Amino acid sequence: MRHYELVFVLKPTMTEEEMASKLETIQKIISSNGGEIYNIDKWGRKELAYPIQNFNNGYYFILNFKTENSELPRNLEYNLRLDEDVIRFLNFKIKPPKKEEEKKEVSETAEKQGE
């Protein structure tokens, strides 16, 4: 199972409904190609480091997903390139997140060492 993180920026001229629709479309692309989304972060409107397509800011989103389909990242990037509302995106492979149990054990041992 491969884990990926997708960061994308939408145009600042979009309405809330349009952004929700665009996010739903991206989620459908991932799920219809055998992916499973396990985290969605909406960062909101942020200023860009430099102007992109004459925009100085945009709406940032982060999606974490996992899949066994090796073609999913390529299909997703193809669809994002064609979408005019997405002004930038970056999709990359990440290490699998630690399970909650492992996190608890690590924090408990850290507390014991701190005593």
From CA 100, how far away is CA 84, in angstroms rounded? 38
CA-based nearest residue to 2, from 85, 78, 92, 75: 92
Give the CATH number, domain containing residue 78: 3.30.70.60
Burial bucket for residue 104 (CB in 10 Å: 0-12, 13-18, 19+): exposed
Reported as a single tens digit per residue, the pLDDT across 37-65 is 999 999 999 999 999 999 999 999 999 99
Is the pLDDT reported for residue 103 higher than 60?
Answer: no
Per DSSP, 96 falls in state P
The encoded tokens of residue 88 equal: 């930038």
Per DSSP, 34 falls in state T
**pTM, rounded to two decimals:** 0.80
Identify residue 44 by its one-letter amino acid code.
Answer: G
Residues forming beta bridges with residue 44, ordered by sequence position = 60
Residues forming beta bridges with residue 45, ordered by sequence position = 59
| pLDDT score at 104 | 45
| pLDDT score at 111 | 52
Residue 32's pLDDT band, with cuts at 50, 70 and 90, is very high
Domain enclosing residue 73, as ranges: 2-114
Structural domain count, the chain: 1
